[in-house]
A and B are shown apart, each in its own frame.
Chain A
Amino acid sequence: MSELITVLTANQLIVAFAVVGIIVWFSYWLSNTFTGGRIHGSAVAIVIGLILAWVGGTRTGGSKGIADIELFAGIGVMGGAMLRDFAIVATAFGVDWHEIKRAGVAGSVSIIAGVIVSFIVGAAVAYFFGYRDPVAITTIGAGAVTYIVGPVTGAALGASSDIVALSVAAGLAKSILVMTSTPAVAGLIGLNNPQSAMVFGGLMGTTSGVTAGLAATDPKLVPYGAMTATFYTGVGCLLVPSVLFLVIRAMLL
C-alpha cells in the first residue's frame, strides 16, 4: 500500500489526468442517465470539481481546494494558470477573425461597463452592511470586480487584511456563480453567438468563471469570451484604485 502511495505522489500530474478523466466520464454518465444529456456533462463535471474543492478546502484549511491534499496536488498543476492559459489560447485555433472584428466595439464597451457595474454593486453592498470608510468600500467593490482586483486595490489603498479577505471572498463567489449559472441562463440572455459571448466575457471578466461557464454552455464560444475576459482584470486594476476610488471618496464627503 505504501508503495502505491509512493508511486501516486511521485507522479502527481499523471494521477491528475486519470482522476479528471474519471470525473468527466462519471459526469457524462450522470448527465445522460438522469437528464438525457439536457444538463451538459461538462457542467456536471465542473460542479463535481467545485464540490471536491470545497471538501479539500474544509479538510485542509488551504486555499487550493482538492489540490491541497497531497495525493491530488497534480490537479493544482493541471488546473493552474499555466496550463489553463495554454489551453485557452489553443481554443482560438480556427476562430473566425471577422467575428472578433464585428464584436470589437461591443466587446470593448462591455469590459469598461462590466468593471464599473460590478464595482458599483459590490460597493453598494458594502455600504448597505454599514461600511462608511471609502478605502473599505472601494476594496470590497474591487473584489466584486474580480478576486485579483480586490487585493491589488486593497494593497494600493492600504486596506486592512480582513477587508482584503472579504473582497477576495466576494470575487470567488462571483467566479463560482458564473461557472455554475451560465448554462442555465444562456438561453434567456441570448448567449448563443460569438458577439454575445464576447460581451459576456467583457461584462463578467472573471477568466475562470467565464471560461468554465462557456465550456458548460457551448465550447465553441469559449475563445470569444476568453478574449475579452483576459483584458478585464487589467482594466479593473487600472480604474478601481484610481478613478473609482476618487468617486467613492467624493460621494462620502
Chain B
Amino acid sequence: MIIYGVALLSACLVAGLFIGEILGKLIGVQANVGGVGIAMLLLILVHNLPRFRSLTTGASANGITFWSAMYIPIVVAMAARQNVAGALDGGVLALLAGVGAVVVSFALIPLISRIGHAPAVIESEGEKADDDE
C-alpha cells in the first residue's frame, strides 16, 4: 500500500528532526542540527534492513518515489517564495558578502574533495537530461 511508504517517510523525517532538535539543545544552539540529514540516514538504514522489506518495495516504494520525484517542483515553489526583494534591498555590502562567500567556497570544492580518496567520477548524466526529473 502506498500509504505505508509515505508513513515510513514521514516517520523518518519526524524522528530525524526530533533528534536534530535534541542535538541542538545538547550543544546549546537555537537551531536544528542535521535533522534532515539524520532522517535521510534513517531512511537509507531502513531501506537496507530485510525486516522492513515490505515497506520499501512494490506499491509502498511508490509512496516514497513519488515524493522524491516531487522534489524539483517543490524546489521551484521554494524559489518562488524566497525573499529576493529583501536580498536586493540589502545593498552592495550584503551582495558583496554573499557573493564573496559563494566564490571562495566554490574555489575550495576541488581541494576538499580530494581528502580521503581520489574522487570516482560517475558517468555524467548531463547529456541525457530526462524530462521526467
Residues of chain A touching chain B, judged by Cβ–Cβ distance below 8 Å, are 16-17, 20-21, 23-24, 28, 37, 40-42, 45-54, 56-58, 63-67, 72, 75-76, 78-80, 83-95, 97, 100, 102-103, 105-106, 109-110, 113-114, 117-118, 121-122, 124-126, 129, 140-141, 143-145, 148-149, 152, 155-156, 165-179, 181, 185, 189-196, 199-200, 202-204, 207-208, 211-212, 215, 218-220, 222-223, 226-231, 233-238
Contacts and interface: CB of A to CB of B under 8 A. Distances in A.
Given A20-B77, A86-B9, A92-B40, A42 B34 contact: no
Say what secondary structure dominates the interface of chain A: helix
A202 B75 CA distance: 19
Given A90-B67, A92-B44, A230-B36, A64 B97 contact: no
B41 to A, nearest CB: 8
A78 B77 contact: yes
A226 B85 contact: no
Nearest to B70: A87
16 contacts: A20-B73, A24-B73, A49-B80, A75-B77, A78-B74, A90-B9, A102-B117, A106-B112, A106-B116, A166-B94, A173-B99, A196-B110, A196-B119, A211-B71, A227-B37, A230-B36
Contacts of A167: 94
Given A126-B97, A192-B122, A219 B76 contact: no
Interface residues of B, number: 89
Contacts of A65: 80-85
Nearest to A51: B84
B125 A218 contact: yes
B65 interface: yes
Interface in B84-133: 84-91, 93-102, 104-110, 112-117, 119-122, 124-126, 129, 131, 133
